């Protein structure tokens, strides 16, 4: 038996999701099941590119590797993505249970939104004699919102009240849109309704705040109700009359339905009723729990302000660590060093898993980061395992969690997409961190981490481009050796640094024998071939830390530090003999050869690099004369 369950949900559903997960884990802990929560922070108001980046985490798992899937479609803020997932589960015969929304081909666990809203509206109609109602709805395609609206309409109609279509405001669960709707309600020529029924508590508190700013009293001038019983509704003033969904029961029930479906092979359903929570906002007497809740809120606000400072420092420290690197190859070691000392927030079991394309994109703009899904192998720059920071150069993506092993204790692994808009970088794993989902700090953490990786990518890429541009500017296009600009800006600085450290250098000067004759007789293409050949030989023969310069048309300068084992005379002769052999191998129509002269610098003297080059040039010319003293050539240069 696999003993693993995938959960798909949105982190903005924080309090509800936390309670649903409590119910799920109550079941999984009893039955030895690990939970993998694929978490997004998509929003209706966000761009398509951002939401696509978030939804990419849904493409990570191989769902057949799990006993089944629990998902909360309405939390995803995308009916299209919810339908894509449903169709995938049905097509691949993956047992799946939808929480809150009925969907074809999958199991269903719900709070009976219709009946629960009827309970709320029965109270309003009977206790407060409501005649006219305004309704703050969620998204037009949101099943929960629509069922709550239907329950509201049907109940008030029984009592002779109305919910006119013009008094229904679809606000997509967005605070700013609720504020606009509240202002329209306040300024309606028909006057204020008796009650504003809101499809969720955040909407109810937004309406109350807006009315208060406009001098409208709640509940004195108009009653307001919410739905969901988020914790803040008790502390809010006035405390909000709302419906408490049995989230924990729904979480536990979703697991019961899933494993019952595994046995029966038939889609099953469970439904629960919400509980009416009386607050002050509907006009009822003072809520006895409100005073205690307000004290708790003051304490929590203080703690959260302090936590936010800590969380901000955590993000800054990660970013600062990343920018210590000089190139991408150092990133893994730098991250491991940082997280080995600093992972109190992330905890044990934390991993960053990167697409190989992320590093490749730094050095090549042709590598696409906008392709969705994940390749078979990825890289793990850092993973905290048993409190030690480690990494993996190659990681099989299907394993999902680096260093995962099934133990006696069950865990909840939270996996989130690492991205910037629709640039996909990889994903992040954390273990048993539902407290970060509940306080929403995980959203800030992931957003900041994604932007840090985006900034790092851009800066590393810019550095690489600048390095290539610099190399082009200081390198000779024909030979690849330093040109005179490279000599002035790099080689001379090397010489000064060696002098300051009392390091002795070799100054070796060379030129091509009879280049004018080669150009005049065989053409400049053959002359260029001669220059390239000698430059290639020089690069092959000198030590890697030495520098070679095309000093003039056919003149070459070599500079390098001397050690006790350096046989400069042998090196000079080797270059010259190799040049002749290379010319023969290439079957050039002329004899290719070169002359050289060298000296060893004295760091204690006051001679300049130009002085040394002039002396080396003189030695080279003397060697050239000795080589050709029997020649009848009138010009040796």
Helix and strand element counts for the chain (H, E): 20, 21
Could you give the CA distance from residue 34 to residue 1 in angstroms, rounded to a whole number? 12
Do the beta carbons of residue 89 and residue 63 sit within 8 Å?
Answer: yes
> What is the band of 97 on the pLDDT scale with cuts at 50, 70, 90?
very high
- Note whether 109 and 98 are within 8 A (CB): yes
Of residues 566 and 33, the one with the higher pLDDT is 33
Least-confidence region, from 17-31, 337-351, 454-468, 601-615: 454-468
- At 634 the pLDDT is 42
622-633 pLDDT, tens digit each: 988 887 664 544
What are the b/e assignments for 508-525, b being 16+ CB within 10 Å? bbbbbbbbeebbeeeeee
pLDDT class of 5 with cuts at 50, 70, 90: very high
Which pLDDT score is estimated for 591? 93
DSSP code string of 8-26: EEEGGGHHHHHHHHHHHHH
Least reliable range by pLDDT among 27-36, 294-303, 589-598, 599-608: 294-303
Q: What is the pTM of this model?
A: 0.72
**What are the start-end ranges of the H helices in 323-440?**
331-341, 356-363, 434-438
| Three-state secondary-structure class, residue 485 | helix
pLDDT in tens, 61-91: 999 999 999 999 989 989 999 999 999 999 9
Mean pLDDT of 137-164: 92
Predicted confidence at residue 137, as pLDDT, reads 96
Which pLDDT value is given to residue 629? 64
Picking from 404, 409, 415, the residue whose alpha carbon sits closest to that of residue 437 is 415
pLDDT of residue 86: 97
162-171 pLDDT, tens per residue?
899 999 999 9
C-alpha to C-alpha distance for 240 and 120, rounded to whole angstroms: 12
User: Which one is predicted more confidently, 293 or 229?
Assistant: 229
Report residue 605 as tokens. Answer: 């003297």
Quick one: pLDDT band at residue 565, thresholds 50, 70, 90? Answer: low
In this predicted model, which residue has the larger pLDDT, 310 or 243? 243
110: tokens are 């719900």
User: Higher-confidence residue: 626 or 31?
Assistant: 31
Q: What percent of the chain has pLDDT over 90?
A: 77
Alpha helices, H only, 161-289: 175-186, 201-213, 232-235, 247-264
State yes or no: pLDDT of 431 exceeds 50: yes
> Which DSSP category does 287 fall into?
P
The answer to whether residue 155 scores a pLDDT higher than 50 is: yes
Query: How many CA atoms are closer than 13 Å to the CA of 197, on its beta-carbon side?
Result: 31
Cα–Cα distance for residue pair 254/93, rounded to 1 Å: 18
Residue 1's pLDDT is what? Answer: 54
Q: What is the pLDDT of residue 80?
A: 94
626 versus 259: the higher-pLDDT residue is: 259
Q: How far apart are CA 60 and CA 121, in angstroms?
A: 43
- 562: three-class secondary structure by DSSP: coil
Res. 399 pLDDT band, cuts 50 70 90? very high
Mean per-residue pLDDT, 527-535 = 94
Domain positions in the chain are 4-109+303-461, 111-247+270-293, 475-627
pLDDT at residue 286, rounded to an integer: 67
207-242 pLDDT tens trace = 999 999 999 999 999 999 999 988 788 888 999 999
Q: Hey, what are 103's tokens?
A: 């969907």
pLDDT of residue 630: 45
Q: 10 Å Cβ neighbour count for 306?
A: 10
Say yes or no: domain 475-627 is CATH 3.40.718.10: no
Is the CB of residue 99 less than 8 Å from the CB of residue 36?
Answer: no
Please, what is the average pLDDT of the chain? 91
SS3 600: strand
pLDDT at 24: 97
Q: What is the pLDDT of residue 134?
A: 96
CATH of domain 111-247+270-293: 3.40.50.2300
The yes-or-no verdict on residue 272 having pLDDT over 90 is yes
């Amino acid at each position: 038996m696999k003993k693993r369950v995938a959960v798909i949900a949105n982190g903005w559903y924080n309090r509800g999701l936390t309670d649903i997960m409590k119910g799920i884990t109550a079941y999984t802990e009893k039955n030895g099941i690990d939970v993998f929560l694929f978490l997004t922070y998509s929003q209706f108001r966000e761009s398509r590119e951002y939401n696509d980046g978030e939804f990419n985490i849904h493409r990570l798992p191989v769902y057949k590797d799990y006993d089944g899937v629990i998902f909360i479609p309405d939390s995803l803020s995308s009916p299209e993505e919810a339908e894509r997932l449903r169709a995938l589960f049905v097509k691949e015969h993956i047992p799946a249970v939808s929480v809150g929304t009925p969907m074809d081909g999958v199991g269903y666990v719900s709070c009976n939104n219709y009946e629960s809203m009827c309970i709320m509206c029965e109270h309003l109609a009977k206790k407060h004699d409501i005649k006219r109602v305004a309704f703050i709805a969620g998204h037009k395609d949101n099943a929960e919102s629509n069922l709550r609206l239907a329950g509201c309409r049907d109940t008030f109609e029984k009592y002779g009240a109305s919910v006119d279509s013009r008094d229904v405001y679809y606000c997509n669960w967005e605070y700013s849109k609720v504020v606009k709707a509240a202002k329209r309600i306040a300024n309606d020529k028909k006057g204020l309704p008796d009650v504003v029924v809101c499809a969720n508590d955040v909407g109810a508190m937004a309406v109350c705040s807006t009315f208060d700013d406009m001098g409208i009293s709640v509940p004195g001038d108009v009653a307001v109700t919410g739905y969901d019983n988020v914790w803040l509704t008790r502390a809010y003033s006035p405390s909000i009359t709302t419906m408490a969904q049995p989230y924990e029961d729904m979480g536990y029930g979703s697991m019961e339905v899933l494993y019952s479906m595994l046995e029966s092979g038939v889609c099953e359903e469970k439904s629960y009723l919400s509980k009416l929570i009386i607050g002050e906002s509907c006009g009822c007497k003072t809520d006895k729990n409100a005073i205690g809740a307000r004290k708790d809120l003051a304490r929590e606000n203080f703690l959260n302000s302090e936590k936010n400072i800590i969380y901000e420092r955590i993000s800054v420290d990660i970013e600062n660590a990343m920018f210590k690197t000089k190139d991408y190859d150092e990133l893994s070691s730098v991250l491991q060093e940082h997280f080995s000392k600093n992972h109190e927030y992330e905890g044990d079991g934390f991993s960053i898993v990167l697409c190989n394309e992320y590093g490749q994109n730094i050095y090549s703009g042709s590598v696409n980061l906008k392709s969705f899904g994940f390749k078979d192998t990825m890289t793990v720059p850092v993973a905290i395992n048993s409190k030690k920071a480690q990494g993996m150069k190659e990681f099989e993506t299907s394993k999902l969690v680096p260093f995962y092993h099934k133990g006696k204790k069950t865990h909840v692994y939270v996996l989130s997409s690492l991205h910037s808009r629709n640039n996909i970088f990889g994903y992040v794993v954390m273990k048993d961190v539902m407290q970060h989902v509940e306080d929403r700090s995980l959203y800030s953490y992931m957003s900041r981490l994604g932007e840090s990786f985006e900034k790092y990518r851009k800066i590393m890429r810019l550095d690489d481009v600048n390095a290539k541009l610099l190399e082009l500017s200081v390198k000779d296009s024909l030979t690849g050796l330093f040109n005179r600009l490279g000599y002035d800006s790099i080689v001379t600085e090397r010489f000064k640094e060696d002098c300051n450290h009392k390091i002795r250098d070799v100054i070796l000067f060379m030129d091509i024998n009879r280049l004018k004759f080669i150009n005049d007789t065989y053409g400049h293409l053959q002359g260029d071939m001669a220059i390239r050949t000698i430059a290639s030989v020089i690069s092959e023969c000198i030590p890697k830390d030495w520098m070679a310069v095309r000093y003039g048309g056919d003149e070459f300068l070599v500079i390098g530090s001397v050690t006790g084992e350096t046989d400069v005379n042998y090196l000079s002769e080797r270059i010259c003999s190799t040049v002749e052999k290379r010319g023969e191998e290439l079957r050039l129509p002329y004899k290719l050869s070169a002359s050289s002269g060298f000296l060893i610098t004295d760091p204690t003297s006051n001679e300049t690099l130009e002085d040394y080059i002039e002396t080396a040039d003189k030695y080279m010319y003397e060697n050239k004369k000795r080589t050709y003293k029997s020649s009848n050539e009138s010009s040796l240069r």
